[in-house]
A and B are shown apart, each in its own frame.
Chain A
Amino acid sequence: MGGFVATWQPLFDLICIHCILAYSQYVALRAGLFSLATAGFASVGGYAGAYLLKTLHWDPVVSGFAAILAGVAAGLFLSLPLARLRGAFQAIATIGFVQIMVSLTLYAAPFTGGALGLNGIPKVATTIPLIVVLALTIVLLTTINRTGIGRAFDAIRQDYTVAGSLGISIATYFRYAFALSGGLGALGGCLLGFNTYSVQPEVFGFPLLVSSIAAVILGGRASVAGPAVGTIFLMALPEIARPLADERLLVQGVLLIAVIIYLPQGIVDSLLQRYRSVKTRRLSTVAQSRAQEGPYGFPSA
C-alpha cells in the first residue's frame, strides 16, 4: 500500500496543480476571451511565491495569497489594452506575454536566479493542502457559473453583439475574467514551486501554455468538470504507453487538431449536450400532446 501511494502521489499532486492551471485557462475561454496567458500568470505567481517563501522567509499561506494578488494584478494589467480588442489580437498578445515572462525571468537574475531559477523551496504544498485548494477553486467556479457572472459569460461567449445589446458591459467582464484567470494561474504556478522544490523560466514557457489549453479543449470549456477531466486525461496518457510519454508535444498537437475539428466542445460538454437533448426530446413530446395550437395563432412547434 505504501508503495502504491509513494508511486502515484507525485502524479496526483501534479494533476491537482495542473487542474488549477487548466481552470485559469478555462475562466478566460468561458468569458469569450482568447487569452492564452495562463503560463505567464503561473510564472508571475511561481516566482512571487517562491521568492517570498524561500528568500524572504514569509509564511507560506501569506506568500501564497501574495502570489495570487500578483497574478490578479498581472491579469488586470493585461486587460488594459486587451479587454476592448478582438479575439485574434488577444491570442497574439497573450502568447507574446508568456514569452516575455520567460525572457524576463531569465534575465532578472538577482531576483529570479536566472536560468537556474529558484531552488530549495520548502515543500509546503503537499497533497492535503492541494486537495483543499482545488476543492475551493471548484466551489468558486461553480458559484460563478450559477450566478449572473455565468449568465453574462455565456452571453458574451456565444454572441457578444447580443450581450452588448442587453446591457452587459463586455469590457468589465473581460477585465474580471482576466483578473480571475491571473489569480488562478498565479496560484497554480505558486503551488508548482511549493510542491516541486523549484521554479525555472522554461517551466512556465510554451509547453505549459499548450498543456493548459489542451486540457480545456479536450475536457470542455463550458462546464466546471471539463478542465478537470481534460487534465486527468492528458496526464494519464503518458503513463499508459511509453511512446506517448516521449512524444508529449506531438501527441498534444495531434489531439488539439483532432478534438477541435471533430469534437469541438470537448468530452464532458459533448456528453452533457447529448444527455440534455435526449431529455428535451422527451419533454417536447409531452408538450406536444398537451397543446396543438398555442395562443396568438402560432402553431405549436
Chain B
Amino acid sequence: MLAQQLVNGVVVGAVYSLFSLGFTLIFGMHRILNLAHGAIFMWGALIGYFCVTFVNLSLLPAFVIAVLGAGVLSVVLDLLVYRPLRKRNGDEFGTIIAGIGANLVLMSIAQQVTNAQALRFPFGIFPVVFYRIESLGLRISLQQIVIVGTVAILTIGLLAYLFKTRIGTDARAVAINEQTSTLLGVNANLVYLNTFFIAGALAGAAGVILGIAFNSVSYVMGEPIMLQAFVVIVLGGLGSVVGAILAGLLLGVIQTISVVYISSELSDAIVFGLLFIVLLLRPNGFFAGLHTEHRAA
C-alpha cells in the first residue's frame, strides 16, 4: 500500500516539478517572480481541451499545440507586461504587482470562455491500461508511466538547452550579468523571449497532463498549483533546476501520503507548515541556485 502511494506521489510530484521548473527558470534567469505562471498552466490545459473537443484532434497533436500555445502566451505576457516595466526601471515589487494583475486578466478571460464551468476531456482520450507488479503490490497505469516519461524528456531537454546550446549559454550569461552580456553581443531581449517561451511551454505541458490525469479543466486550476510551486521552490531554492526537480518529487510524495494517511483537508496545512519551517530554518532552500551573501538586517 505504501509503495503504491509512493509511486502515486512521484507521479504527481513529477508534474509539480515540471510546472515549478518554468517558474524557477524565469526567476533564476531574470529575477522575475512570474505570478501569472499558474494562469499560463491553466491556459495550456484549456488550449489542449479545445483542440480535442472543437478541432477534434487526437491527444498528441493537441498536446503539442497546447505546449506551443502556452509558450507563445508566456512570451506575449513578457512583451506586454514585464518588458514595459523593465524599460521603466521597474523593481521587484513592480513585477510582483504586474504579475498579479496579469494573472487576474488571464483568469477573467478564461472564466468568460469556459462560463466558469469545470470541463472534462472526453472519455477514452487516453487508453486505460494497468500494469501489475505483484511482488511489490503495485498497480501502475500507462498514464502514469507516460506522465513521468514526458516530464523526464522535457527536463532533459531543458538541461540540454541550458548547457549545450548557444542560446542556453547566452541565457546563463544574461542571468549572471545582463549589462556585460549585452556588451559582449548577447541579445538580451531574445534571451528573455526564449526563457518565457520555454517556461510557458513547460507550464502548458503540465497543464494538459494534470487536466487529463485529474479529468478536470477549469479557470481556477492555476491557483492551487502556484502554491505547490511556492513550496517547491522554497524547498529546492529559487533558481535551482535540480532543486525544483527533487523538491517537486518530494512534495508530491509528502502530499499524497498526508492525503491518504492523515486527511485531505489537513494536507494543505501540513504542506504550508513545512513551508514555514523551511523559511524559518533555510530560506535559501537546500540547493541554493543563487548566492545571497548580502544580508538585509
B276 to chain A, nearest CB (A): 5
Check if B33 sits within 8 Å of A92, measured CB to CB.
yes
Check if A253 sits within 8 Å of B103, measured CB to CB.
yes
Check if A100 sits within 8 Å of B296, measured CB to CB.
no
Which B residue's beta carbon lies closest to that of A257? B101
Check if A107 sits within 8 Å of B90, measured CB to CB.
no
**A249 vs B220: C-alpha distance when bound (angstroms):** 13
B123 to chain A, nearest CB (A): 30
Q: Which of B85, B96, B102 has the most CB of A within 10 A?
A: B96
B295 to chain A, nearest CB (A): 8
**A257 vs B80: C-alpha distance when bound (angstroms):** 10
Within 92-140 of A, Cβ neighbours of B (below 8 Å) are at: 92-93, 95-97, 99-100, 103-104, 106-107
Within 160-215 of B, Cβ neighbours of A (below 8 Å) are at: none
Check if A84 sits within 8 Å of B297, measured CB to CB.
yes
B68 partner residues in chain A, CB cutoff 8 A: none
**A104 vs B107: C-alpha distance when bound (angstroms):** 24
Check if A104 sits within 8 Å of B101, measured CB to CB.
no
B297 partner residues in chain A, CB cutoff 8 A: 83-84, 160, 164, 169-171, 174
B107 to chain A, nearest CB (A): 7
Any chain B CB within 8 A of the CB of A85?
yes
Check if B296 sits within 8 Å of A34, measured CB to CB.
no
Check if B272 sits within 8 Å of A96, measured CB to CB.
yes
**Are A250 and B33 CB-contacts (below 8 A) given A87-B92, A103-B269, A261-B85?**
no
**A174 vs B90: C-alpha distance when bound (angstroms):** 23
B51 to chain A, nearest CB (A): 25
Check if B104 sits within 8 Å of A100, measured CB to CB.
no
A157 to chain B, nearest CB (A): 10
The secondary structure that dominates the A interface is helix
A262 partner residues in chain B, CB cutoff 8 A: 88
**A210 vs B105: C-alpha distance when bound (angstroms):** 12
Check if A89 sits within 8 Å of B234, measured CB to CB.
yes
Check if A260 sits within 8 Å of B97, measured CB to CB.
yes
**A251 vs B222: C-alpha distance when bound (angstroms):** 20
Within 240-286 of A, Cβ neighbours of B (below 8 Å) are at: 247, 249-250, 252-257, 260-262, 264
A255 partner residues in chain B, CB cutoff 8 A: 101
Select A256's contact among B100, B276, B292, B294, beta carbons within 8 Å: B100
**A249 vs B35: C-alpha distance when bound (angstroms):** 16
B266 partner residues in chain A, CB cutoff 8 A: 107
Which A residue's beta carbon lies closest to that of B85? A261
Which A residue's beta carbon lies closest to that of B31? A88
Any chain A CB within 8 A of the CB of B84?
yes
Check if B105 sits within 8 Å of A253, measured CB to CB.
yes
Check if B101 sits within 8 Å of A85, measured CB to CB.
no
A261 partner residues in chain B, CB cutoff 8 A: 81, 84-85, 88, 90, 94, 98
- Give A60-96 as 1s and 0s: 1 = Cβ < 8 Å from B's Cβ atoms: 0000000000000000000011111111110111011
Check if A257 sits within 8 Å of B280, measured CB to CB.
no
Check if B227 sits within 8 Å of A99, measured CB to CB.
yes
B93 partner residues in chain A, CB cutoff 8 A: 34, 87
- Give B14-52 as 1s and 0s: 1 = Cβ < 8 Å from A's Cβ atoms: 000000000000010000010100000000000000000
Select B104's contact among A106, A169, A217, A252, beta carbons within 8 Å: A252
A104 partner residues in chain B, CB cutoff 8 A: 269
A-B contact pairs, 13 of them (CB 8 A): A81-B283, A87-B92, A87-B96, A88-B33, A91-B96, A92-B33, A93-B234, A213-B97, A250-B109, A254-B101, A260-B90, A261-B94, A264-B90
B residues near A (Cβ < 8 Å) are 27, 33, 35, 81, 84-85, 88, 90, 92-94, 96-98, 100-105, 107-109, 223, 227, 230-231, 233-234, 238, 265-266, 268-269, 272, 275-276, 279-280, 283, 292, 294, 296-297
